[in-house]
Amino acid sequence: MFECQEIAAEHKDIIHDVSYDYYGDRIATCSSDQYVKVWDRNKDGKWTLTSSWKAHSASVWKVTWANPEFGQVLATCSFDRTAAVWEEIVGDTPGPGKRGQRNWVRRTNLVDSRTSVTDVKFAPKTLGLQLATCSAEGIIRIYEAPDVMNLSQWTLQHEVQCKLPLSCLSWNPSLSRAHPPMIAVGSDEPNTTQGGKVFIYEYSENSRKWIKLETIKTITEPVHDISFSPNLGRTFHILGIATNNVRIVNLTPTDDEQSQQSGLTKLDIQTVAQFDEHKSSVWRVCWNVNGSILCSSGDDGCVRMFRIYSKTLWKQEAVLKGDGNQVPTAMEAAQSSSQPIPQGSPVGSIAAQTARYIKLGSISQPSRDPWY
């Protein structure tokens, strides 16, 4: 939770996205007021607004940080059909209040899309400085900066056509050389008769193209967000998906004769968890640093946390209400009742492992629009 109650109030409209930097000391936000704002955490743990600028001529949908290896770099995308790359410059101009002043400079404007650019993500740093975008016209575009010291030059490397309008994308962050580059994309097409709404693509070294590996046909509802779990050595990948509920899908590479001949990965797809606790649309999913906890937010005004206990076993870990209050755990609920928890019961064992979450501040005001 943020420690600054003024973050939402600084924007004049609905906040669409919030992104932490690599170290968790900076936050970037974007909203329908066409502005991007950057917040820094000071030594006292308080968040201070350090930069604010009009980034696009329409609603800004997403904002994301590049790896700090490439400097202080942001990418944004917008309803105005463009994506942009921004770099922070620290000025040394002499004069009162001038030295050390920070400015964000637009290094490039990517204008290839004919419709709204709905998501933008930097690739894992092992792939160099690459940037993927997806759009409502159903195209994934992948750009690369050949010279990381010159962010004004970006080359369109790949255009991947999808059959449906796209709403979100995620790079697979696995660092294993055994795992080729992989991207998952989701569609918010409302027509449920169109089939699967999640597509998995892999980069083939043989053809030097992005090839569609799989369509997750079991997900036919509109997809609002999608996120690969950090992979710290697992032999399989985990995908968190936000639709009208939370889905967790395992993607396990299989080594068979067909995949060896084609040079493409064959995936065994298994939906290992489905959580309907939000009882409403789910808008965002994100992971903790080691990929053991998935967080989600939905129209019920709650943030829910789900923890992995084994490859196929997930349980809800905690629930935070929009006002910062925590829903009582199973242990607390039982203690407040007249019936004690039987020793050794499943409820008792799970409740004993449940973490406590404490409200540190608020990021929105009751009089303002909901923030997801």
> Which top CATH class is 1-161?
mainly beta
Residues 249, 216 contacting (CB under 8 angstroms):
yes
pLDDT tens per residue, range 263-283: 788 999 999 999 999 999 999
What is the Cα–Cα distance from 323 to 363, expressed in whole angstroms? Answer: 9
Q: What is the mean pLDDT of the chain?
A: 86
Handedness of CA 175, 180, 181, 182 (dihedral sign): negative
Q: Which residue has the tokens 């996120």?
A: 227
Q: Is the pLDDT of residue 35 over 80?
A: yes
Distance CA 153, CA 136 (A): 25
Mean pLDDT for the stretch of residues 318-329: 76
Higher pLDDT, residue 168 or 12: 168
Residues 261-268: contacts with CB under 8 Å, at least 24 apart: 263/204, 263/205, 263/206, 264/202, 264/204, 264/211, 264/213, 265/179, 265/180, 265/182, 265/202, 265/213, 266/213, 267/200, 267/213, 267/214
- pLDDT-derived band at 2 (thresholds 50, 70, 90) equals very low
| 23 contacts 49 by C-beta, under 8 angstroms | no
Spatial contact of 100 and 115, defined as CB atoms under 8 Å apart: no
The dotted CATH code for 162-372 is 2.130.10.10
Is residue 361 scored above 80 in pLDDT? no
DSSP secondary structure code for residue 326 in this structure: B
Say what the pLDDT of residue 349 is: 43
Give CA–CA dist 108/146, Å, rounded. 14
Of 22, 55, 51, 24, give the one whose Cα is nearest residue 39. 51
CA distance 164 to 312: 30
Locate the domains of the chain by residue range. Answer: 1-161, 162-372
For a pLDDT cut of 90, what percent of the chain falls above it? 67
Which tens digit of pLDDT belongs to each residue from 101-149? 789 999 999 999 999 999 999 999 999 999 999 999 999 999 999 999 9
Q: What are phi and psi of 61, to 5 degrees?
A: -85, -45
CA distance 238 to 311: 9
Quick one: pLDDT band at residue 329, thresholds 50, 70, 90?
low
Cα–chain-centroid distance for residue 236? Answer: 19
Whole-structure pTM value:
0.84
Q: What is the pLDDT of residue 365?
A: 44
| Cα–Cα distance, 244 to 263 (Å, whole number) | 35
Q: Is the pLDDT of residue 247 over 70?
A: yes
CA distance 317 to 213: 33
Lookup: tokens for 314: 């997930």
Asked if 1-161 and 162-372 have one fold, the answer is yes
Q: Where are the alpha helices (DSSP H) in the chain?
A: 7-10, 257-262, 330-336, 346-352
Spatial CA neighbour of 125 closest among 202, 170, 58, 70: 70
> Of 145, 135, 18, whose CA–CA distance to 81 is shortest?
135
pLDDT band of 370, cuts 50, 70, 90: very low
